[in-house]
Amino acid sequence: MTQKIGFIGLGRMGSPMALNLVRAGYSVTVYNRTPEKTKPLAEAGAAVAGSLAEAASNAEIVFTMVSDSTALQDVVLGPVGLLDSLQPGSVLIDMSTVDPKVSRQVAEAVRARGAYMLDAPVSGSTMLAEQGTLSIMVGGEESVHERVREVLLKMGSRTTHVGPNGAAASLKLAVNIIIGVTMEVLAESVVLAQRAGVAPEIAVEVLSNSAVASPFLKYKAPQLLQPLGPAAFTASMMQKDFTLALQMARETGVPLPATAAANEVLTMARGLGLGDHDFAAVTTVIRQLSGG
Ligand SMILES: NC(=O)c1ccc[n+]([C@@H]2O[C@H](COP(=O)([O-])OP(=O)(O)OC[C@H]3O[C@@H](n4cnc5c(N)ncnc54)[C@H](OP(=O)(O)O)[C@@H]3O)[C@@H](O)[C@H]2O)c1
């Protein structure tokens, strides 16, 4: 068993994921930019590092689970980043959803340091992170994936090697456009039914048992009914992923008409001040713009 793990980024996803590693018996040192968020991990038995360098310096595996490409660059390549503290032969595993080009840039810098990098973004939400049942996509060397697979399986129920560095980051964007577009069309469906006199609860119950039923619909049903309740994945984060996917599409010449339309609804959500709400807030947007 790999004993020493560094874990950076204790947000909505990172906190439950790191907790699962602590509960599995690994020696985990956590770091978060906002130190207060380390408290529950410390109570569960994790060591708390005061700097990125401290979190990485003794670790055989360092995980990052941060917001976006800029955050990843900051924590690894920035002036107080962890790059120079990585042990030769250690593995940096970035589980955030970031630009595949940035992921490859970081992988190159890590390789030059004599360490390894995997991009290992996840499909699933906070609930699946808590349960340790995320689906994990892996980009990088297959042999490195095999080396760390046992640890990854403490956070997810399956891992899939996708290809070289950046391949999993690309696939993650392809997965997330389905999630985002699905949420938007669910919002249209529920509000259409509601305006025709059907209670949203009934509409969601029927949808959850219909031909379009899916694990996604099942775990997002509460947010579909209460879009402005506690956020699992914010509208701003979803737009970050759509923007990356649309950029990748332009570079590869792939038309993404449904993604482009759903992206506009996220712009409306942000314009209405709903960016920090769950991306189910697109339901609120459609509701506010309907009924005229
Ligand atoms: N939420 C989901 O359902 C979900 C599902 C799959 C994938 N993801 C992906 O997982 C990643 C994390 O999402 P999340 O929902 O956990 O986000 P979150 O709750 O907003 O957490 C973001 C984390 O990144 C840290 N961070 C941001 N900028 C930083 C910087 N410049 N330097 C150092 N740390 C920085 C934050 O630190 P502070 O606490 O100091 O702000 C926090 O720990 C994202 O890439 C997201 O797309 C999310």
Asked about 172 being catalytic, the answer comes back as yes
Residue 8 CB less than 6 A away from ligand 1: no
Round to whole Å and give the CA distance between 149 and 278: 31
Residue 13 CB less than 6 A away from ligand 1: yes
**What band does 2 get if pLDDT is binned at 50, 70 and 90?**
low
CATH code assigned at 53: 3.40.50.720
Which ligand 1 atom is at minimum distance from the Cα of 52?
Answer: 33
Position 239, amino acid: Q
Domain span at 27: 4-163
Q: Which of 163, 191, 215 is the last residue of a domain?
A: 163
- Percent of the chain clearing pLDDT 70 (strictly above): 99
Averaged confidence pLDDT in the chain: 97
CATH code assigned at 254: 1.10.1040.10
Catalytic residue of the set 172, 218, 220, 240: 172
Q: Among candidates 173, 170, 171, which has minimal Cα distance to 263?
A: 173
Closest residue CA from atom 21 of ligand 1:
11
Residue 18 CB less than 6 A away from ligand 1: no
Q: Which of 10, 31, 62, 66 has the most ligand 1 atoms within 8 A of CB, as the residue to mutate? A: 66
Are both 209 and 260 inside the same structural domain?
A: yes
Helix axes 100-112, 167-195, angle to 10 degrees: 150
Which ligand 1 atom is at minimum distance from the Cα of 96?
Answer: 45
Are both 32 and 104 inside the same structural domain?
A: yes
Position 72, amino acid: L
**pLDDT confidence of residue 78:** 98
Q: Which of 105, 130, 163 is the last residue of a domain?
A: 163
Calculate mean pLDDT across residues 30-51.
98
Which ligand 1 atom is at minimum distance from the Cα of 241?
Answer: 47
What is the CA(9)–ligand 1 centre distance, in A? 6
Residue found by looking up tokens 């992206």 in the block: 263
Q: In Å, how far are 58, 85, 113, 233, 265 from 77, measured between CA atoms?
A: 18, 11, 12, 26, 34
What is the CA(93)–ligand 1 centre distance, in A? 15
pLDDT at 232 over 90: yes
pLDDT tens per residue across span 145-184: 999 999 999 999 999 999 999 999 999 999 999 999 999 9
Closest residue CA from atom 31 of ligand 1:
71
pLDDT at 1 over 60: no
Are both 117 and 204 inside the same structural domain?
A: no
Residue 180 CB less than 6 A away from ligand 1: no
